Amino acid sequence: MMKYILSFSLLLFCSTQLLAQGKTQNNERIENYKIAFFTKELNLAPEDAQKFWPLYNKMQDETKALRKNMMQLSRSINQGLYKGKESEGLELILKAKREELDIQEKYLKEIEKINGSEIAIMVPVLEGKFRHKLMQNMEPRNHGGGRRNFN
């Protein structure tokens, strides 16, 4: 029961935080919402969350850095910097994709050891679910922009 009260309180707190303005605040709101979403969906007890979040955050940080490099590579390809060197560009793309999978494998196996396979298997599923929910909430409402509802 206490777990549900904690999850609800965290979700309520994050929901109120989502009303703030600004890009930095928006990123923080999204991050808070993500924490509440994952905590609720994974049914994480506070002691489980203390073990889960540091690993998950490291995985996200490494993945984010890799994706930043992939975006730079994509821009270079779009700008024609790989004209005549398409094979080289393709190899770089495939290498980056393999690195992303390696990062996920490393951390998901670590999460499995610490939090169990029931939690680890749900992480990629919940990431997709979260992105989908986030995209739905970011769609303009009635062409007037309306408030974003993250619930």
pLDDT digits (tens, 9 = 90+) for 105-146: 999 999 999 999 999 999 999 999 999 999 998 776 545 555
According to the model, what pLDDT value does residue 71 have? 94
DSSP codes of every residue in 52-115: HHHHHHHHHHHHHHHHHHHHHHHHHHHTTTTTT-HHHHHHHHHHHHHHHHHHHHHHHHHHHHHH
Count of structural domains, the chain = 1
Any domain includes 59? yes
Q: Provide the pLDDT confidence category of residue 8 given band limits of 50, 70 and 90.
A: very low
Q: Compute how many other C-beta atoms are within 10 angstroms of the C-beta atom of residue 81.
A: 11
**Domain assignment of residue 143, yes or no:** no
* Residue 150 burial (CB count, 10 A): 21
Mean pLDDT for the stretch of residues 67-88: 90
The answer to the question of residue 151 being in a domain is: no
With a CB cutoff of 8 Å and minimum separation 6, the contacts of 63 are 100, 103, 104
Could you write out the DSSP letters of every residue in 101-123? HHHHHHHHHHHHHHH-HHHHTHH
Residue 144 lies in a domain: no
* Predicted pLDDT at 6: 46
Query: Residue 112 falls within a domain, yes or no?
Result: yes
Q: Is the pLDDT of residue 1 over 70?
A: no
Q: Whose structure tokens read 């060197």?
A: 85
The answer to whether residue 148 sits within a structural domain is no
Average pLDDT over residues 56-85: 93
Q: How far is it, in rounded angstroms, from Cα 126 to Cα 14?
A: 18
Q: Is 7 contained in some domain?
A: yes
pLDDT band at 20 (very low <50, low <70, confident <90, very high): very low
Residue 136 to residue 148: CA distance in whole angstroms: 9
Cβ atoms of 33 and 18 within 8 Å: the answer is yes
Share the mean pLDDT of the chain: 84
Residue 32 lies in a domain: yes
Residue numbers of the domain that contains 63: 2-138
